[in-house]
Amino acid sequence: MCFKVRALKAQIKGVHPEIVFLSETKADEARMDKVMKTLGYSEKLAINARGKAGGLCMMWINSIDVKVLEFDSNIIAIEIKEGNCVWVLVGFYGLAYTIKRRGAWEHLNALLESIQEPWACFGDFNLTISDEEKLGGRRGNSSRQNFLQDMMFELGAIDLGYSGNQFTWSNNRWGRNAIKERLDRGIASMSWRLKFPKATIYHLGAIKSDHCPIVLDTNPVDTFC
């Protein structure tokens, strides 16, 4: 964990995000307090891991106006006020191949559907939406429900795209055994996209992890890639 925190601190130093969302922290709140201070943030909401799995944390600087709306083991939703602009940011971790997977997606769908303000949702969805988002391994199973595709269609949500490497996850193997996928992304309501037409998702390089960090910049001036 200490090596990952050091790597994350180095990346944060180069990007200066006002808000950070971490999933699969595998840590309790006391540990995340230390991580928050190490990374230079003043406020947080942490969801404890269960044993050696799970755990979420949303951190933010105290100069932004944040209100926590909802949270559970897979979701942290906050409301952000920037002058006259109010919008909702949701951090999500999509469970991989568990009996609780459907419930997590149904909760996210219901939450996003209930939000009146413009919203953006980002995180590790643990799903791709097309075969083009995967390199190596088995291709998509058409008989298995794709919760992400279904939710985006139902809500009229849009994918925010990305700049940088195509894939956000790797099994860290080489040759024929290598598998890479775009599991991490940002999606948004059309009203959010209209408020932030220049907003961009950047894929940073993976350090000490099988996932690469993604950065949502609502008003990009300089690129990170």
Question: In which element (H, E) is residue 59 found?
Answer: strand 56-60
Predicted local confidence at residue 140, as pLDDT = 62
Q: Is residue 222 one of the residues assigned to a domain?
A: no
**How high does pLDDT run on average in the chain?**
91
User: Tens digits of per-residue pLDDT, 164-221?
Assistant: 999 999 998 888 899 999 999 999 999 999 999 999 999 998 877 899 999 999 988 7
72, pLDDT greater than 60? yes
| Total domains, the chain | 1
Predicted local confidence at residue 224, as pLDDT = 44
Q: Are 206 and 96 in contact (CB under 8 A)?
A: no
Task: List the CATH number of the domain containing 181.
Answer: 3.60.10.10
Q: Is residue 96 one of the residues assigned to a domain?
A: yes
Q: Report residue 154 as tokens.
A: 């139902």
69, pLDDT greater than 50? yes
Measured distance CA(165)–CA(50) in Å, rounded: 32
Q: Is residue 223 one of the residues assigned to a domain?
A: no
pLDDT band at 133 (very low <50, low <70, confident <90, very high): very high
Exposed, middle or buried, 153 (CB in 10 Å: 0-12/13-18/19+)? Answer: exposed
Q: Is residue 71 one of the residues assigned to a domain?
A: yes
Domain that holds residue 178: 2-217
Q: Are 59 and 19 in contact (CB under 8 A)?
A: yes
Q: Report residue 210 as tokens.
A: 């099988």
**Reported pTM:** 0.92
Q: Is residue 53 one of the residues assigned to a domain?
A: yes
Q: Is residue 225 one of the residues assigned to a domain?
A: no
Name beta bridge partners: 178: none
Mean pLDDT of the 97-123 span: 94
What letter does residue 157 receive in the DSSP assignment? -
Q: By C-alpha distance, which of 123, 224, 133 is closest to 170?
A: 133
Q: Going along 125-218, which residue ranges are E strands?
A: 134-135, 158-159, 163-164, 169-170, 180-181, 184-188, 200-203, 214-217
Q: Are 192 and 183 in contact (CB under 8 A)?
A: no
Predicted local confidence at residue 141, as pLDDT = 57
Instruction: Count CB atoms within 10 A of the CB of residue 108.
Output: 25
